[in-house]
Structure 1
């Protein structure tokens, strides 16, 4: 899969012996200029649906599982690779100090109607919810959050980069 971007957060130690490697799959679901996103109240941002791939799980199977769990998506079809975003960033859990994450992004189609979500407890606590939003509004919102909010999380730069690339190449 083509590399879209590789980033190193200034606080990440890429030479550390305590690097957690993680693979994630992220869904790009478009209807015209509207995109299916996850809004997270805690971080005040919009992110692509998706998440970590389980050990020995096929990446497309993981994408479909995450998309169903987080958005209630049904009839997921036409899954196609879009690109990989690689990042190193600080990590403060499980005796690691750096996270090396590869986010594999795929375009796909879903049924217009969303079903029930199966969010994890921390996702519910963070105020995560699936929403359809105009992609340009999502970009503007994330840019405003990056500039003006102390609530922003570490993933917002990745997500905003991906949204801009999606506009450039797919919208």
Structure 2
């Protein structure tokens, strides 16, 4: 799979410290000019469905599980690999200096009908919901949030917006 980009958060000054390693799998699901994304009210942003791969899972098993949980996707089929982002950012637990996260993006197809999402408590508390949205509208929204540097802005918005722009350029 191709490396899309290496991202180092502005607050990370040393990559040789103790790092928490995390793998994530994220789905790119298209329908005409729309893309299936998650809107999170707390962060006021759009992001890809998917998330952390459990220790006992391979990346694709984690992808299928996350898409079922977050958007209720059924009959998920991977059409192709899109690429991965290698990311370093601050981590909140004192036993680590930083988080090293590798996010794998896959172009997927799903059944037209979806089950009810099974969001985790923190996702519900953050106001997360799935939405079909025009990709240009999602990019514009995220860029406005970044330009304003809204206090609620999360760490992932830069990564997700970069990938959205690349998808628009390469897949639309």
Which residue number corresponds to residue 71 of structure 1?
71
Distance across 2 between alignment mates of 1:79 and 1:62: 16
Residue 108 of structure 1 corresponds to 108
Distance in 1 of aligned mates of 2:51 and 2:140: 23
Partner of 1:90: 90
What are the superposed Cα offsets for residues 118-148 of structure 1, whole Å, 9 maximum, x if unpaired? 1111101000001100000000000001111
Partner SS for 1:111 = coil
Secondary structure of the 2:16 match is coil
Structure 1 equivalent of residue 161 of structure 2:
160
Correspondence for 1:150: 151
Alignment check: 8 A CA contact 2:78 2:106 kept: no
CA distance in 1, matches of 2:73, 2:94: 31
Match of 2:22 in 1: 22
The CA RMSD over aligned residues, in Å, is: 1.0
Q: Report matched runs for 1:40-59 at 5 Å.
A: 40-59=40-59
Match of residue 170 from structure 2: 169
TM-score (norm 1): 0.96
Q: What SS class does the counterpart of residue 29 from structure 1 fall into?
A: strand
Gaps of 5+ in 1: none
Corresponding residue for residue 2 of structure 2? 2
CA distance in 2, matches of 1:100, 1:78: 25
Deviates more, 1:78-87 or 1:44-53: 78-87
Tell me the distance in 2 between the aligned counterparts of 1:78 and 1:100.
Answer: 25
2:129 aligned residue: 129
Question: What's the CA shift for 1:79?
Answer: 3.7
Structure 1 runs (4+) greater than 3 angstroms displaced: none
Q: Distance in 2 between matches of 1:78 and 1:52?
A: 18
User: 1:112: Cα distance to partner?
Assistant: 1.7
